């Protein structure tokens, strides 16, 4: 036993889960049941993930859903051949588009805040990001998209689906394949489907190993 690590109890539920159950039962799955994704479930997973919080409600995340065999095969190539891409019924590409966010700030101001709120959001975004270059503010946008990436995995698990988060791919090849602008940054690829393997039980630091209490 490695000191400071914990191994979670094994559970294999298949139905809907609470957040705690989704966290407990999520594990990276790289082999999926070979059946098309239920489109209503897919939409619900995306909807739940879109409820993630972000600074100033910026919602910089964008999703590209790949289900076509042909595009999946090309995506797999861009991910250095990692087979879980082609094996999954759907792959959600999660990226941030900070330039789109900045060009459409009016959409994110909460209507309850009225005209004053809209003005505040416009000014804030202009003051904070106007002086930054595209790469710098893109990095900020990515930090927000990463939150939605986490939500997406748990949303999928809560509906009985499994995923594997992936950063092992060539970002430029994925931009080219999906026709995405140069400035977008990737939170990751997320193959989704029903598990056809058990995956590995959690192997994690203990709370004591990673936490200081003051
Ligand atoms: C940001 C990120 C990138 C990852 N990239 C890959 C990847 O490219 N290929 C892969 O097979 N697994 C990838 N993983 C999965 C990790 O190996 C896995 O999450 C980790 O070992 C913990 O295992 P678990 O997810 O089963 O709990 C990635 C995970 C994260 C969070």
The finding on whether 80 has its CB within 6 A of some atom of ligand 1 is no
SS3 labels along 187-211: EEEEEEECECCCCCCCCEECHHHHC
Q: Provide DSSP, 140-165.
A: HHHHHHHHHHHHHHHHHHHTT-EE--
> How does pLDDT run along the chain (214 residues), one tens digit per residue?
333 454 444 444 456 789 999 999 999 999 999 999 999 999 999 999 999 999 999 999 999 999 999 999 999 999 999 999 999 999 999 999 999 999 999 999 888 989 998 999 999 999 999 999 999 999 999 999 999 999 999 999 999 999 999 999 999 999 999 999 999 999 999 999 999 999 999 999 999 999 999 9
Distance CA 106, CA 96 (A): 18
Distance 163 CA to ligand 1 centre (A): 10
Name the one residue in this structure whose structure tokens are 């999906």.
Answer: 178
Looking at domain 5-208, its CATH class is alpha beta
CB atoms within 10 A of CB 12: 7
* Residue among 167, 173, 185 whose CB has most ligand 1 atoms within 8 A, to mutate: 167
CB atoms within 10 A of CB 61: 25
């Amino acid at each position: 036993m490695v000191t400071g690590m914990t191994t979670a109890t094994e559970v294999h539920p298949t139905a809907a889960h609470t957040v705690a159950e989704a966290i407990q039962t999520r594990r990276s799955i790289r082999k999926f049941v070979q059946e098309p994704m239920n489109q209503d479930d897919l939409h619900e997973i995306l909807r739940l993930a879109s409820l993630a919080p972000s600074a100033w409600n910026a919602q910089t995340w964008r999703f590209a859903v790949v289900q076509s065999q042909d595009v999946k095969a090309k995506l797999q190539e861009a991910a250095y051949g990692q087979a879980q891409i082609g094996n999954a019924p759907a792959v959600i590409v999660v990226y941030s588009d900070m330039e789109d966010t900045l060009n459409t700030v009016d959409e994110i101001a909460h209507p309850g805040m009225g005209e004053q709120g809209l003005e505040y959001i416009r000014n804030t975004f202009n003051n904070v990001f106007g002086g930054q270059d595209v790469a710098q503010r893109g990095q900020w946008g990515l930090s927000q998209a990463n939150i939605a990436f986490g939500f997406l995995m748990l949303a999928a698990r809560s509906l009985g689906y499994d995923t594997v988060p992936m950063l092992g791919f060539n970002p430029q090849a994925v931009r080219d394949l999906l026709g995405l602008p140069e400035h977008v940054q990737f939170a990751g690829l997320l193959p989704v489907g029903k598990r056809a393997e058990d995956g590995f039980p959690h192997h994690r630091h203990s709370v004591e190993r990673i936490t200081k209490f003051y």
